[in-house]
Amino acid sequence: MVGAVLLVGCSTKPAAVPAGVAGPSPTYVAVGASESVGSGADQPLVEAWTQVFYRTALPIGATFVNAGIPGATVADALEKELPLAIEQHPAVVTVWLNVNDLVAAVPAAEYESGLRRLVHALRQDGRATVLVANTPPLDHLPAYLAEAGSDFPPVADVLAAVDAYDAAIGRVVAEEGAVLVDLHAAGLAARADGTEAGLVSSDGFHPSTAGHARVAAAFADAYRTKP
């Protein structure tokens, strides 16, 4: 009987839990549009570039809030995303807002003004590192190419608009002490090595899973090498 009694499930009582040393625990906020919430990835929860950046570039104790809204422009971000971002008192912020503004034909000057106010607020007087992405190459996107000959602007106009936006982003980054994430250069490099097509999802517009990983890597590199 005793033997049978001993066969009842047993436990090891946990020992007194020692106090540990808390590691770094920064808060990361992503400000952006559909790309930032993972559109185009097979499993957005896992493969969105913001999630990959959070997982690979930041310590395990970091917290992440994604303020991104699909279709958002800079004006939308100022109104709807900035309050949530500031509420979190982030130490790291990523900003990728340009394609929707381009599609909405927002003039470069207006875009620059809005972006400057956004980045300035997110910097929180220098307490936060703000990484701002410029515009990746759009002229080879299947979604754009499929509309060739319609009301979409010609390639030259698209290239000029992208250049104007990227110049504005460069000025804002320099003046506000942010960090530039050069997605444009990364896109051209992918074009040169023949991998560009694989970085675009089946919708012809958003990054694919591989594209999200490449974007995350670009942000991570910029974060690690920030001055």
Q: Which of 31, 32, 55, 215 binds another protein (CB under 8 A)?
A: 55
Q: Which of 31, 33, 39, 54 binds another protein (CB under 8 A)?
A: 54
**Amino acid in the structure at residue 224:** R
Q: What one-character DSSP code corresponds to residue 65? A: E
d(CA 45, CA 182): 24
Among the listed ranges 62-70, 96-104, 107-115, 182-190, the one in contact with another protein (CB under 8 A) is 62-70
Q: Does 192 bind another protein (CB under 8 A)?
A: no
Q: How far is CA 102 from each of CA 20, 57, 117, rounded to the nearest angstrom?
A: 49, 29, 18
Q: Does 25 bind another protein (CB under 8 A)?
A: yes
Nearer to another protein, 17 or 148 (CB): 17
- H/E segment holding residue 118: helix 108-123
Nearer to another protein, 13 or 224 (CB): 13
d(CA 98, CA 184): 12
Residues in the site for another protein, rule: CB under 8 A? Answer: 1-3, 5-23, 25, 43-46, 51, 54-55, 60-67, 69
